[in-house]
Structure 1
Amino acid sequence: MTQESLHRVVALVDAGSNPFELGCATEVFGLRRPELGRDLYDFRLCAATRRIRMRDGFFELAGIAPLDAVDEADTVIVPNRPDIDVPRRPAVLDAIRRAHARGARLVGFCSGAFTLAEAGVLDGRRATAHWQWAARFRSRFPRVHLETDVLFVDDGDILTSAGSAAALDLGLHLVRRDHGAEIANAVSRRLVFAHRDGGQRQFIERPIPDIPDDSLAPLLAWAREHLDRPLSVADLAARMTVSPATLHRRFRVQLGTTPLAWLTGERVTLARRLLERGESRLDVVARRSGLGTATNLRALVRRETGLTPSEYRHRFSRDDAPGRR
């Protein structure tokens, strides 16, 4: 795939931007991927001025692309910064509106939702932002449907994430959406980061555990190795020698989801990876992923991706996937 055919991601930086989210964007979209044998994105930074002072004056950026780089982007990551009450530059907001009007994908990490809302592109749309700013966001932008109990929101061409670390979750979600679960898993491994589903809660209160440790990690690792088995919630509870009710409570506290929802999500992810590896026999994919039947496989893959298993395999198989901008 040539550099010209790569999906172009432009991160728009403005005065006071937070370095962490910018680093997340660079890590996910900007690094070379020699272990994959190809690059995934054409990534660059841009700004409205030649020099940009980052949050709290930590450092300045210089030598990055001018603002008109946004006009050539397939995906635009909008500025985020902690001083949410300071208006964004009119030129920056205009660039975001132009990108939205021509169909570019817009991404807001953390307080980036404020930038998108100020540009007027979130009216009537779903979004999320850091939980501590929820009341102020709703007060300023009542026409936006703010969801504060999730890590990120994928509303098609506009995506937003919650607190800083959720930028990595959303970034990996975009990689999975663009390149499939197998590639996203490879990027996640390189980051040494366990990708979390967007539906998980932003803030989970975790008391200091008593001894012995009641972490779910050993159970999750075991379940992932046995997805081809007809596992049930009762089976998982028996594995941990707790009741199903206790297991359900621990999943809610530690993962913000239910055991059944987690198990189904893991099965669908495995099915997607098998399809990406070129497996065309749906009964085999259904059996190896634990989804049971080809009918169930079709329903769940379509619900998750909007594609049939055959369409998904054709789009993301390493052998079949055409070069995509």
Structure 2
Amino acid sequence: MHRVAVLALDGVYPFELGIPQRVFGSAGRRYEVMTCTVDGGPVRSNADFMISAEHGPELLATADTVIIPPFDVALISPELPDPVRRALAAIRPATRIVSICTGAFLLAAAGLLDGRPATTHWRLTDDFRRLFPTVQLDPDVLFVEDGDVLTSAGAASGIDVCLHLVRSDHGSEVANQVARCCVVPPFRDGGQAQYIEQPIPDPAGQGTAATRAWALQNLHRPLTVADLAAHARLSHRTFVRRFHEEVGASPGRWLTQQRLARARQLLETSDLSVDQIAGKVGFATAASLRQHLHAAIGVTPLAYRRTFRTAAG
């Protein structure tokens, strides 16, 4: 069983501390989630209560994935306290390491993000760049995956990155089941914007939710942004502006993301050919599907299918 160790630091945010257990714990006994502290003792949360864990830093040496939840920004420092440094030293090479929000500051202070792409909460961009100028910070995305290190933005993006890991480990069907159990959206691409201007449309205005639902039911059609704008009964310019305000991505990019998500699900769960899948999800040709999938995750459709068929076997 894949062991996930969650390291609770002083000032830990209780909501994000609970995300790994909630997400990975809903994956049907595929993961074992355990919580530890740097010395085995209780830690202060950033709320009005203490948190006790049953394990100390020795747990990190047994983990397949280590997750660093966020902690109080007042405790951020470019230098690691000795107990934290010793605890991180216990992590085995090639262990997958994930940070949520301010957890990226800890990884950067440990030298794990030097020269690498990463993200954190958009409000902390200036502080992060001042303290860690060698990190390739992208404050506009929900999460960044760079090999065995993943960094995510604030709060709900912790759910997104954990769901992404479930999807990477076990496929879209399992990830969708976990999302339904947690009552959260099953897929938000890591490149989606952190800060959305208008996440909830004005009830008096005309939003794009109905058009998005219609598009998902018609992905097999060669939909264009003009088609979406016509369905929403908005001018092209107004539709694009409103769509970006509500979703945090352009209509064209969102359509591609949805087509890829559906294609990945069909590759994992069906015996349809790549040409048939391309047609069902709205890519003009199998070559187009191959190009988009390779750009998104770096593999061909057949290689992607073999990965999950091998895992299932």
TM-score by length of 2: 0.91
In structure 2, relative to structure 1, the CA distance for the partners of 1:296 and 1:20 (3 Å cut) is same
2:244 pairs with one of 234, 248, 252: 252
Instruction: Please state if 1:18 is matched with 2:13.
Output: yes
Sort the Cα spacing of 1:305 and 1:114 in 2 relative to 1 into closer, same or farther, 3 A: same
Instruction: Give the whole-Å Cα distance in 1 for the aligned partners of 2:222 and 2:251.
Output: 14
Distance 2:131 2:53 in 1: 35
Q: How does 1:145-156 map to 2 (within 5 A)?
A: 145-156=136-147
Counterparts of 1:115 and 1:63 in 2: how far apart (Å)?
20
Q: Is the 8 A contact 1:80 1:115 kept in 2?
A: no
Cα offsets for 1:73-96 (capped at 9, x unmatched):
111112420133356542322332
2:276 aligned to which of 275, 284, 299: 284
1:300 and 1:53 mapped to 2: Cα distance? 45
Percent identity of equivalent pairs: 43
Q: Deviations over 1:53-83 (max 9, x none)?
A: 2324533333522211111111111242013
Residue identity matched to 2:48: F
Count of aligned residue pairs for this structure pair:
310
Q: CA deviation at 1:104?
A: 0.9
CA contact (8 A) 1:71 1:95 kept: no
Give the drift of 1:108: 0.6
Q: 8 Å contact 2:3–2:64 — kept in the other structure?
A: yes
The answer to whether the 8 A contact 1:283-1:294 is kept is: yes
Cα contact 1:204–1:256 (8 A) shared by 2: yes
| Corresponding position of 2:58 | 68
Matched-pair contact (CA < 8 Å) for 2:152–2:158: yes
| Residue 191 of structure 1: aligned partner | 182
List aligned pairs for 1:73-152, cutoff 5 A.
73-82=63-72, 83-85=74-76, 88-99=80-91, 102-152=93-143
Give the SS at the match of 1:321. helix
Shift of 1:200: 1.8
**Which residue pairs with 1:300 in the alignment?**
292
The change in CA–CA distance for 1:88 and 1:30 in structure 2 (over 3 A counts) is: farther
Q: SS where residue 310 of structure 1 aligns?
A: helix
Contact 1:127 1:147 in 2 (8 A): yes
Q: RMSD over aligned Cα, in angstroms?
A: 2.1
Cα distance in 2 for partners of 1:228, 1:114 equals 43
Paired letter, 2:166: V
Greater shift in the superposed pair: 272-281 or 104-113: 272-281
Alpha-carbon displacement from aligned partner over 1:150-207 (angstroms, at most 9, x marks no partner): 1111122111111112111111111122222222222112222123222122222329
1:285 deviation in Å? 0.8
For 1:229 and 1:264, the matched residues in 2 are separated by 13
The amino acid of 2:144's aligned partner reads V
* Worse overlay, 185-194 or 226-235: 185-194
Structure 2 segments unaligned to the other structure (5+ residues):
none
Alignment partner, residue 45 of structure 1: 35
Check if 1:171 corresponds to 2:162. yes
- What is the CA–CA distance in structure 2 between the aligned matches of 1:148 and 1:211, rounded to whole Å? 30
Match of 1:241 among 222, 229, 233: 233
Cα distance in 2 for residues equivalent to 1:227 and 1:79: 37
1:7 aligns with 2:2: yes
Worse-superposed segment, 232-241 or 52-61 = 52-61
Structure 1: 5+ residue runs without aligned partners?
Answer: 1-5
Q: Structure 1 84/150 Cα, relative in aligned 2: closer, same or farther at 3 Å?
A: farther
Using the alignment, how far apart are the partners of 2:212 and 2:277 within structure 1? 21
Aligned to 1:264: 256
Compute the TM-score of the two structures, normalised by the length of structure 1. 0.88
Are 1:79 and 1:115, in contact at CA under 8 Å, matched by a contact in 2?
A: no
SS in structure 2 of the partner of residue 153 of structure 1: strand
* Equivalent AA in structure 1 for residue 57 of structure 2: L
